Amino acid sequence: MMLLNLKTFNIATDQNPADQATRKFKACNLPNSLWIREPEFLYENEKASFHDGQTFSLVDTDADKEVKQEVTSAKSVVQPKARLGCERFERFSSWHSLVRALVTLKKYIRKRKSHTEDKESCEHDNILHNVTTLIIKEVQLSAFSSEISTIRDGGCSPKASPLLQLNPILDKDDVLRVGGRLSRMQSTLGGQLSAHPIIIPKGHIATLIVRHFHSKVHHQGRQLTEGAVRTGVSRAVHVELIEELSSASFINALRRFIALRGPVQHFRSDRGTNFIGAVRELEIDATFIESGPVSNFLSENAITWTFNPPQASHFGGVWERMIGTCRRILDAILLENKAITLTHEVLSTFMAEVCAIVNSRPLLPITSDSEVPTALTPSAILTNKQSTPSFVIPTFGSKDALKSQWKLVQYLANIFWTRWRVEYLNSLQTRAKWTSDGDNFKQGDVVLVKDKDVHCNLRPLGVIDEVFASDDSTVRKVKVSIVYDGTLSSYVRPICQLVKLLELD
């Protein structure tokens, strides 16, 4: 309310009743006081002069220095988007009824917003995809809310998260998927769905999805249901026996491999002494295998050979994992049967049986259809033939193994198959270590080079000359310059063998 145009008058103290209420006053004088009876000027004419002639104008409060300014702060709160709630999904007994209900609801909302009739079924597939994505996102938020918020902010999954080994990622629809090393295999595996499967938490929705696909394959068993829900990915193994760890033995094994499997396009190996010697015999420089001239030479011959950095066996995890599993089972079998002597012929046959067992595992769930009795295996892909033998080999015990050599081979192969089936887990996506990302090494960083043969106080310092970034922009190996006995040398080392001491600003 603005009163700037009004004038105020001053009332004298002896005519102001409020002054008597704030001062000492005798009780005997109270009946005749101005506090009880009104001042006389209230009974006079409005134009009567009851003031001393002084007039005062009201002062604007914003311009008055004696008035303290009031500061008002406004608080804005962003209300989160309302969620459906997974508890509502439990009212539905089938995946189809749940999706159909949400599709109907979404169509009704769209119709009310647009005030027009719905279009034909050209938009039905889009709505169906959006509803399916909405359901999956809702169940993922209820189970993995902390992981999703962390990944959305650019961080890594918490260490206590059950999804840590799956390296979860978010796709363009903010759906949580399995990460891993198959991101560059999407075109081969059939798109993102196979390379990065959707993570579905255990619960009512997972049960509805399994029931839905179980009904879709006409209730033909667990194997077909698994095949309809997920896709398997694996690889094949070839084992060659050599007499000694020499370059000549390796070259002979390589020639046998090419003779059996055909021309090779890409070799990848660690820096074993026999491998280094072999490439020297082939006049290939193993130290600078990544350099331009050598790469061009190999490309002209339609062969690519890539060496992993020294002291980095984990770079070959894609094949070391398969071979390591076979080796552990073989060690256990041979230790349990110390009394059995294996000749070269028996050992060669046994290793061939081991390769056949490893390569005969199904890449996809085994079908229950009598019309399709076989499963897709690495052996079937390699040979274009069924891996099932045309004859049935009986099961032999430890006593039968001592009667003849072929029974001994079959006895060991049966043991290997039993342990392989129990101990092998075909999971490519899980990560046992390196679950968090670190800062990349840069050129010019000062590092401490680890060397198990050198005392920790005598380990050399080095400067990074060059970094090798992978396709995902992650540096896993570098070229570092080290001074040994007054001589400057350069070495390629994995980052796990380096300790960063000083970063280049």
Tens digit of pLDDT for each residue in 42-98? 776 655 555 555 666 666 766 777 677 777 777 776 666 667 778 888 888 888 889
pLDDT of residue 355: 77
pLDDT of residue 288: 44
What are the beta bridge partners of residue 477? Answer: 468, 494
Instruction: In whole angstroms, give the CA distance from residue 321 to residue 327.
Output: 10
pLDDT of residue 231: 44
Residue 331, pLDDT above cutoff 50: yes
Task: Transcribe 228-274 into DSSP letters.
Answer: HH-------------SSSSHHHHHHHHHHHHHHH---SEEEE---HH
Out of 108-112, 198-202, 363-367, give the one with best mean pLDDT. 198-202
pLDDT of residue 125: 54
Mean pLDDT for 291-295 is 47
pLDDT of residue 342: 74
- The residue assigned the tokens 């159909």 is 100
Phi first, then psi, for residue 461 (nearest 5°) are -95, 150
Instruction: In whole angstroms, give the CA distance from residue 301 to residue 250.
Output: 20
Q: Are 229 and 210 in contact (CB under 8 A)?
A: yes
pLDDT of residue 232: 42
User: Burial letters for 124-156: b for 16+ Cβ neighbours within 10 Å, e otherwise?
Assistant: eeebeeebbeebbbbbbbbbbeebbebbeeeeb
Query: Sign (positive/negative) of CA torsion 165, 166, 169, 173?
Result: negative
Mean pLDDT for 112-135 is 68
Bridge-based pairing of strands 446-449 and 304-307 is unpaired
Q: What average pLDDT does the structure give for the chain? A: 71
Mean pLDDT for 158-183 is 78
Q: CB neighbours (10 Å) of residue 475? A: 17
Residue 295, pLDDT above cutoff 60: no
pLDDT of residue 162: 79
Mean pLDDT for 345-359 is 76
- The residue assigned the tokens 């050198």 is 454
**Model confidence at 281, in pLDDT bands (50, 70, 90)?**
low
pLDDT of residue 287: 44
**Model confidence at 187, in pLDDT bands (50, 70, 90)?**
very low
Instruction: In whole angstroms, give the CA distance from residue 72 to residue 496.
Output: 57
pLDDT of residue 420: 57
**What distances in angstroms separate CA 354 from CA 254, 376, 499, one per listed residue?**
19, 18, 41
Task: Transcribe 352-377 into DSSP letters.
Answer: HHHHHHHHTS-SSPPP--TT------
Lowest mean pLDDT: which of 255-264, 365-374, 405-414? 365-374
**Model confidence at 391, in pLDDT bands (50, 70, 90)?**
very low
Instruction: In whole angstroms, give the CA distance from residue 334 to residue 236.
Output: 23
